[in-house]
Amino acid sequence: MTRMDAGRHDWRLVPAAVTVWAGTALGLLWGWWAGLVYGLTGGACAVVLWRWASRGGRDRRRWRPAAGALLVCGLLTVWPTTARLHTAEHDPLREQARRGEEVTLTVVVAQRPRPVHTSGYGSRPGGSRSVLVPVDVVSTVSGGEDVGSEGRVLLLGTAESWDGVLAGQRVTVRAELAPARPHEMTVAVGYVRGPPDLEEEPPWWQRATEALREEFRLVSGVLGEEPAGLLPGLVVGDTSALSSRVEQEFLEAGMSHLTAVSGSNVAIVCGAVLLLARVLRCGPRTSAALAAVALAGFVALVGYEPSVLRAGVMGAVGLLALVLGRRGSALPALAAAVCVLGLHDPEMAVSMGFVLSVVATAGLVLLAPRWSRALSRRGLPRGTAEALVVPTVAFLVTAPVIAGMAGEVSLVSVVANLLAAPVVAPVTVLGVVAAVLAPWWPGAAEIVVHIVGPGVQWLILVARHAAAIPGAVLHWPSGWWGAVLAALVVAVVVCGMRYRRTRSLFALLAVVVLVLAVPTRVLAPGWPPDDWVLVACDVGQGDGLVLATGERGRAVVVDTGPDPLLLDRCLERLDVERVPLVVLTHLHADHVGGLASVFDGRAVGAVAVGPGRSPGWAWDDVLGAATARGVPVVELGAGDRLTWPELRLDVLAPTAPVTAPAEDADGTTVNNSSVVLRATTPAGRILLTGDVELSAQADLLAGEDLRAEILKVPHHGSRYTLPGFLTAVSPRIAVTSVGADNSYGHPSPVTLKVLAGVGSLVTRTDTGGDTAVVVDEGEPAVVTRGAAPRRRPGRTGGLSRRVRSARPPPTAARWPWGRRGRRVRRGSSARHR
């Protein structure tokens, strides 16, 4: 091939890459026949291109190799890619999965088990009890007969059972099958209850790299809890110890790509080796050879993952271009990588990571240099121009993809990544050094980890503040139309910024948006409201309640919700600095998952629990978290009383220890063991019921005077609520802590109807957001902060009482990020019975 002129791009491999990518994507989305048709079309286009190139001059003849590459890629798309798609579509395990049969699988682990972060019953708070394990089937036995499948299966099992299982290892499992998601090469999902039977040891290099990763996790522990969990993710993509709070903040700030090994990591590592080789005055081929060795070692250290394979192939093609001495080789390298990866694993064609990687790389190759030169001509230093252009281009070209596939766009990602950029490369390079040193010289590795510690802390700080900005995540229509609409918006903005008048118009629109949005979302006073006694934090599908003690900055927390991030933000908005007591009504994850956030930057006096100790993993986690911070764990029983200046807590239940049986799959027994509290406050009595269900409610009816002005509705408004229980309480205000669009049907219409029948003002955190009970003119009233934006649109609907005008805001109101206007509503005006 002829060398490209300086400043020009070589487009000749692009048609071949488009053929492979589009052929495999259509084959997955529409069926194997679509891939066959597109591959044949690509081959026909190659013949036309060859004839066109052969009949012209020198410039045309340069395209003959491109025609040959297009023909080869078209034929490879027809076979074997289409044949693989056909085989996957008609794999016999698909029928077994549709019937939900149980089979015995002998498989080879394709990737190391990765954690599944959940917040439902039985899941670890802030962590995971389950892992996903992609495997390649060797043989399948169902009912004593060989099924004959050799497809790809995704196994779901417990983390304990799969601990120590590595990629490349052959195992046998008993799994209950379920259908896989459409448009994938995966033919079934298997639920594995027991541990796998190990058939053979994994390859030696997998054992060696796993030992390196384990030692690196250990030396990372010299940092704090959050940096120690983040550093392995930044360096080797190991997010097993990453806290859910940091993970969510990186996602909302548009920085989650930093914890998934991608082309940027490969570029940093290879770039560092090439820079070192240049200092040592090595030639291009020697430099490329050293970088190739570093690349192979880095890929082995990280482990086989789709993103790692993608980054490794792109890096290898780039190094090959360096050896050949080609200028302007970035675009051919990208096209070649797309061809290789698409033919190797057709499923990558519809993978969000693959699409984002290709689109972002193409944008940086085609747009970033031109924009950087344009800014330099306007007097901006070259380094500053490049630092500004790279995250901006990456955001603009990937925004339509993210909008279409995820239904949201992070509006703070450009600034966040710009602030993060200076420390990413040093942290990555020094982190790799620490990982290599860890098994052989732990002391030196710990020194290196201490050096990168401030950089890791800086990344956490940037993500935390960026995610806290109101409107950080813009929700957008998903699907093809959403992607097209986002692409049109980006095109209009990019084209409009080229002209002075349209730039002025965009600036005016931005000012209007700020004037309209900032006062209502950021500067609106009124939260926290004056004289609040109870706040039900909007923590999603779970409970997170805060009770004022009458002392500034001090509050009692009852349950902590499933998500540490949401509860932490709620406590920050309330200016809670000291928590004399954390009460965990029971140990389901939607009540204890956010416990770690209460300890974060706050003084905690004690953690109180009931007599229940189920599920066992949750009790171990609660006890371990409290012990690690020197916080005592105490047990509450019926008859206990705790007092503060303006708060008294009386424990009403449970009256006896409750042990959940092994078959308590739905958590009923654990729910009925919830600690029930009666809080006496300036606003009246508050009955806090945890998740008590029918039998526990009946016990309370038999032994207690349950009348209260405010009721925390049991079990998120579940249908398992006795009408007699609600009538006995007859609350003026009923607070329902519930998650938007939850899959449990909470709150039940029947429960809401009974509450309305006794004259209760019903409030819900899914529609009202953080909900505060306040003292308003001597009466209990409700202030709602407003529902926060959801990743999925929440349900809408009015509340049963009219909205009263808000009182004048306090003169020294705080202005925390994310504040919304408040609405004050009173409970029933009739005297409480």
Average the pLDDT over 703-714 and give the result.
91
CA-only gyration radius of the chain, Å: 30
- In order, the DSSP letters of 121-162 are TTPPTTS-SEEEEEEEEEEEEETTEE-----EEEEEEETTTT
Q: Which band of pLDDT confidence, cut at 50, 70 and 90, is reported for residue 415?
A: confident
d(CA 212, CA 205): 11
d(CA 48, CA 375): 41
Let me know: does 567 contact 594? Beta carbons within 8 Å: yes
Q: Which band of pLDDT confidence, cut at 50, 70 and 90, is reported for residue 118?
A: very low
Average the pLDDT over 743-767 and give the result.
90
User: Averaging pLDDT over each range in 283-297, 559-573, 577-591, 653-667, which range is the top one?
Assistant: 577-591
Q: Could you tell me the pTM of the whole model? A: 0.68
Percent of the residues in the chain that have a pLDDT greater than 70, as a whole number? 83
Q: Higher model confidence: residue 58 or residue 518?
A: 58
Let me know: does 605 contact 611? Beta carbons within 8 Å: no
pLDDT value at residue 318: 62
For residue 450, the tally of other CB atoms under 10 A from its CB is 13
Q: Answer whether residue 3 shows pLDDT above 60.
A: no
pLDDT value at residue 632: 94
d(CA 161, CA 127): 16
Residue among 696, 674, 256 at smallest CA distance from 467:
256
CA dist 219 → 243, 407, 435, 438, 444 (Å): 18, 38, 9, 7, 10
Handedness of CA 283, 289, 294, 295 (dihedral sign): positive
pLDDT value at residue 511: 63
Contacts of 141 (CB under 8 A, 6+ apart): 103, 104, 147
Q: What is the largest CA-CA distance in the chain?
A: 98
For residue 454, the tally of other CB atoms under 10 A from its CB is 13
User: Which amino acid would we find at residue 292?
Assistant: A
Mean residue pLDDT of the chain comes to 81
**Cα angle 241, 662, 196; round to 5:** 55
Give the least confident one: 364-373, 552-561, 601-610, 660-669.
660-669
d(CA 362, CA 368): 9
pLDDT digit string, tens, across residues 289-330 = 888 888 888 877 777 666 676 667 766 766 666 565 555 567
Let me know: does 186 contact 179? Beta carbons within 8 Å: no
